A and B are shown apart, each in its own frame.
Chain A
Amino acid sequence: MAREMTGAQMVVEALIDQGVEHIFGYPGGAALPIYDEIFQQDKVQHILVRHEQAAGHAAEGYARSTGKVGVALVTSGPGATNMVTPLTDALMDSVPLVCISAQVPTHLIGTDAFQECDTVGITRPCTKHNFLVKRIEDLPGMLHEAFRIASSGRPGPVVVDIPKDIQFKTGIYENLKGAVRTSYRPRLEGDERAIRYAVAMMASAKKPVIYSGGGVINSGPRACELLRELAALTGFPLTSTLTGLGAYPASGKAWLGMLGMHGTYEANLAMHGCDVMVGIGVRFDDRITGRTDAFSPNSKKIHIDIDASSFNKNIRVDVPILGDVAHVLEAMIRVWKEAVPKHDAAALVPWWKQVNAWRAKKSLRYQKSADVIMPQYAIERLYQLTKDRDTYITTEVGQHQMWAAQHYGFDKPYHWMTSGGLGTMGYGFPSAIGVQTAHRDALVVCVAGDASIQMNIQELSTVIQHDLPVKVMILNNQYMGMVRQWQQLLHGNRLSHSYTDAMPDFVKLAEAYGAVGIRAQHPAELDDAIETMIASKKPVIFDCRVANLVNCLPMIPSGKAHNEILLPDDVADEDIGDVVDARGKQLV
């Protein structure tokens, strides 16, 4: 039903019509008309953050844990520029986000007005699309189209930049949810012939592997179910990227563990040695492939993705299938059942034997200690003590992130939030705020590093204000551990600026904000500390003091092939500096 209202009212109406219940934001001059409308209603709840970057990451956490679009609201100028990191993060990891940014009035655009910046210009390369609203008539359509673009096809962030005079102007609002304004219509169904071809290839494989990624999770819960069905039907071993964890259960029979730079031995060697690779919602990025010219040299590659530009970008594939993962897997399973009624599981026995031999290396093993808390052990205990609840894990970026990915067993999708593509320190805590906002009664734990947590520590104030009992477990090793590890590996162990001098007292810091602070120094204290953290009804900072100089293994050093993976047994922490040659040292 069309109604007359102001631009600012349209923003709130459109959010309500889109079913948005929570938004994350920070006010400022150009956004005040919208904030005034937010004040006068109670359908959309606004979470006030302490830095706009946190609003963006919170919206990402919200989106990733619900499958809905996350929404952020910021003012012009610095409010918008502070959003650049989360927008880029969301673009890299395909997270559906709508960011509403305020802009100076249209007649001031281009005059270097106070708090003016070229928001659409700045965000063009870090959004899936963006709009500058110049006429009130365009506003309803652009708002609803932003949601459609953000959530369909390969999801991503969309910015709607709204000048202040447009927020005041009156126009006709209509609920245009789902209306198609642009020519954007992603194709969902995969090509049937390509699917049949792929199934034939899979049916005759002797050494197959399924390589699954974040695209499966983005496609939806149905896609995750179908992935499990496909693995069961075919009997193929399965590995996943960092962002794809949980789509297939870590307790499942086919599970090889995560692959890539810090992936398991069995996952990386299966990728290297396979004869048919089934890539599903993945993008063959450099943390996965290592040396591209030595990547899985003898396999035929099937690649399912909704984004045509993913095909052959880094690795040449044999059978690209363009479409939505759920649609394609549905068809693939149907075709498999018709065409391969009696699959010869015995044909895969030698391959599984090989895989199990690799598995027997136990590549995630680590040195146990009775005196200090090993970081891997801390994650293992966290897993054991939280696995029977509805637990969501977010992470910051660094060694702790990789240890969480390796040692926490993710059995469900939408319960794991981490910054994969961009690797954004400062992502984890605000992301946990978004998750907790969507799941008030769930246990939400941010696994953090002592350096990363300080990038958005001010959000402690947000969790207190909004009663969000987020738990932050800091694996405190006193170093930027991942940087230290690389310096040891590549730069003669000269630890240039990777030691955190003047570390704050995290317990006192938590208390200063009104949160709970706890600390554990000894393995014997660990379980109690974790239990206390879980039992608390308030936000908690848990300063978990771990061994300082542990390296994250296994590791495929940059520029090496999957079969050149470093295992814990191959190299002692002290000797790791001799492993990489001069050329490898130039890589990122």
Chain B
Amino acid sequence: MPLPGESHSAYFYQEQVKTVERHTLAVIVDNEPGVLARVIGLFSGRGYNIETLTVSETEHEKHLSRITIVTTGTPAIIQQIKSQLGRLIPVHRVVDLSLAGAILERELALVKVRGKGEPRVEALQLAEAFNARVMDATTESFVFEITGKSDKLDQFISLMVPLGLVEVSRTGVAAIGRGPEGL
């Protein structure tokens, strides 16, 4: 095994302390079979991280989809990820929203909580405080819908754990730049 703290050759994992950054990338692709597999295969094959990934057709007439990827890595890795994505034939553009100035990032979660009495009341109160909406209710459960930045969702979900959290479904991040300009 490599000895920690020493840097060696092309073969060793260099255990250098480098700042890991979080970037949100918008990738505009042809909406065709296999395109998502190409993107995901690239990340797994080259050992890059995917924190969240969302994809949907955004321009029907042009058959274009938008993939939003939140990834982490050193600045050099992030640059590699962008150029590797750019190499894929169905990829039209790769935009690093994190470099593009102010951006809006939103994620949606559906959160199921089960309980009676005190905890149930507390869950409802917290939901109101977080602007979560009740989408389904029984005498012993709620399903909340909450939208916001990922860390707000994280916080809400962790608060629900002691109150009877049963299940969570999250969409992953959708992101767009502020102001009048498009991509």
Chain B residue numbers with a CB within 8 Å of A121 are 37
Q: Are A291 and B10 in contact (CB under 8 A)?
A: yes
Q: Are A587 and B89 in contact (CB under 8 A)?
A: no
Q: Are A312 and B30 in contact (CB under 8 A)?
A: no
Cβ of B9 < 8 Å from any Cβ of A?
A: yes
Cβ of A289 < 8 Å from any Cβ of B?
A: yes
Cβ of B45 < 8 Å from any Cβ of A?
A: yes
Q: Are A292 and B89 in contact (CB under 8 A)?
A: no
Given A182-B30, A312-B76, 17 more A-B residue pairs with CB atoms under 8 Å apart are A134-B33, A183-B89, A183-B91, A183-B92, A184-B89, A290-B9, A291-B10, A292-B9, A292-B10, A307-B87, A308-B87, A309-B80, A309-B87, A312-B79, A313-B80, A558-B11, A587-B11
Q: Are A124 and B37 in contact (CB under 8 A)?
A: yes
Q: Are B8 and A583 in contact (CB under 8 A)?
A: yes
Q: Which of B3, B10, B38, B80 contacts A124 (CB 8 A)?
A: B38
Task: Pull 21 A–B residue pairs with CB atoms less than 8 Å apart, ordered by A.
Answer: A120-B34, A124-B37, A124-B38, A129-B89, A149-B89, A182-B89, A182-B90, A183-B30, A183-B90, A291-B10, A308-B86, A308-B87, A309-B80, A309-B87, A311-B83, A312-B79, A559-B9, A560-B9, A583-B3, A587-B9, A588-B11
Q: Are A293 and B7 in contact (CB under 8 A)?
A: yes
Knowing A124-B34, A183-B92, A312-B76, say if A558 contacts B86 (CB, 8 Å).
Answer: no
Q: Are B83 and A286 in contact (CB under 8 A)?
A: no
Chain A residue numbers with a CB within 8 Å of B79 are 312
Closest to B45 in A: A125
Q: Are B80 and A291 in contact (CB under 8 A)?
A: no
Cβ of B171 < 8 Å from any Cβ of A?
A: no
Chain A residue numbers with a CB within 8 Å of B92 are 183
Residues 305-327 of A contacting B (Cβ, < 8 Å): 307-309, 311-314, 316
Residues 86-125 of B contacting A (Cβ, < 8 Å): 86-87, 89-92
Indicate with 1 or 0, residue by residue over A317-353, a CB within 8 angstroms of chain B CB atoms: 0000000000000000000000000000000000000
Cβ of B84 < 8 Å from any Cβ of A?
A: yes
A580 to chain B, nearest CB (A): 12
Cβ of A128 < 8 Å from any Cβ of B?
A: yes
B2 to chain A, nearest CB (A): 8
Residues 1-59 of B contacting A (Cβ, < 8 Å): 2-3, 7-12, 14, 30, 33-34, 37-38, 41, 45
Indicate with 1 or 0, residue by residue over A555-588, a CB within 8 angstroms of chain B CB atoms: 0001110000000000000000000000100111
Give the distance in Å from the alpha carbon of A183 to the alpha carbon of B2 in the complex.
43
Q: Are A286 and B89 in contact (CB under 8 A)?
A: no
Q: Are B38 and A286 in contact (CB under 8 A)?
A: no
In this complex, how many residues of chain B approach chain A with their Cβ under 8 Å: the count is 27
Knowing A125-B41, A309-B80, say if A559 contacts B11 (CB, 8 Å).
Answer: yes
Cβ of A132 < 8 Å from any Cβ of B?
A: yes
Q: Are A308 and B83 in contact (CB under 8 A)?
A: yes
Give the distance in Å from the alpha carbon of A240 to the alpha carbon of B8 in the complex.
25
Q: Are A314 and B37 in contact (CB under 8 A)?
A: no
Knowing A120-B34, A125-B45, say if A309 contacts B11 (CB, 8 Å).
Answer: no
Knowing A124-B34, A124-B38, say if A559 contacts B8 (CB, 8 Å).
Answer: yes
Chain B residue numbers with a CB within 8 Å of A583 are 2-3, 8
Closest to B42 in A: A125
State the majority secondary structure of interface residues on A. Answer: loop
Indicate with 1 or 0, residue by residue over B49-74, a CB within 8 angstroms of chain A CB atoms: 00000000000000000000000000
Which residues of A pack against B, CB within 8 Å?
120-121, 124-125, 128-129, 132, 134, 149, 182-184, 286, 289-293, 307-309, 311-314, 316, 558-560, 583, 586-588
Give the distance in Å from the alpha carbon of A307 to the alpha carbon of B86 in the complex.
10
Chain B residue numbers with a CB within 8 Å of A125 are 41, 45
Q: Are B10 and A309 in contact (CB under 8 A)?
A: no
Q: Which of A132, A291, A313 contacts B9 (CB 8 A)?
A: A291
Give the distance in Å from the alpha carbon of A309 to the alpha carbon of B82 in the complex.
8
Q: Which of A129, A289, A307, A316 contacts B10 (CB 8 A)?
A: A289
Chain A residue numbers with a CB within 8 Å of B84 are 309
Chain B residue numbers with a CB within 8 Å of A312 are 76, 79-80
Give the distance in Å from the alpha carbon of A371 to the alpha carbon of B96 in the complex.
66
Q: Are B83 and A309 in contact (CB under 8 A)?
A: yes
Closest to B28 in A: A183
Closest to B88 in A: A129
B130 to chain A, nearest CB (A): 42
Give the distance in Å from the alpha carbon of A121 to the alpha carbon of B37 in the complex.
8
Chain A residue numbers with a CB within 8 Å of B34 are 120, 124, 132
Give the distance in Å from the alpha carbon of A220 to the alpha carbon of B38 in the complex.
30
Knowing A128-B89, A184-B89, A309-B86, say if A558 contacts B9 (CB, 8 Å).
Answer: yes
Chain A residue numbers with a CB within 8 Å of B9 are 286, 290-293, 558-560, 587
A251 to chain B, nearest CB (A): 32
Give the distance in Å from the alpha carbon of A314 to the alpha carbon of B46 in the complex.
13
A271 to chain B, nearest CB (A): 15
B10 to chain A, nearest CB (A): 4
Give the distance in Å from the alpha carbon of A290 to the alpha carbon of B8 in the complex.
10
Give the distance in Å from the alpha carbon of A506 to the alpha carbon of B86 in the complex.
49
Closest 3 CB pairs of A and B: A286-B10, A309-B83, A559-B9
Chain B residue numbers with a CB within 8 Å of A289 are 10
Indicate with 1 or 0, residue by residue over B111-153, a CB within 8 angstroms of chain A CB atoms: 0000000000000000000000000000000000000000000
Q: Are B89 and A291 in contact (CB under 8 A)?
A: no
Chain B residue numbers with a CB within 8 Å of A290 are 9-10
Closest to A289 in B: B10
Give the distance in Å from the alpha carbon of A132 to the alpha carbon of B80 in the complex.
28
Give the distance in Å from the alpha carbon of A316 to the alpha carbon of B41 in the complex.
26
Give the distance in Å from the alpha carbon of A289 to the alpha carbon of B12 in the complex.
13
Chain B residue numbers with a CB within 8 Å of A588 are 11
Chain B residue numbers with a CB within 8 Å of A292 are 9-10
Q: Are B8 and A291 in contact (CB under 8 A)?
A: yes
Chain A residue numbers with a CB within 8 Å of B11 are 286, 558-559, 586-588
Give the distance in Å from the alpha carbon of A291 to the alpha carbon of B90 in the complex.
36
Give the distance in Å from the alpha carbon of A587 to the alpha carbon of B13 in the complex.
11
Give the distance in Å from the alpha carbon of A309 to the alpha carbon of B80 in the complex.
6
B40 to chain A, nearest CB (A): 10
Chain A residue numbers with a CB within 8 Å of B91 are 183
Chain B residue numbers with a CB within 8 Å of A132 are 33-34
Chain A residue numbers with a CB within 8 Å of B7 are 293
Chain B residue numbers with a CB within 8 Å of A586 are 11
Give the distance in Å from the alpha carbon of A433 to the alpha carbon of B124 in the complex.
75
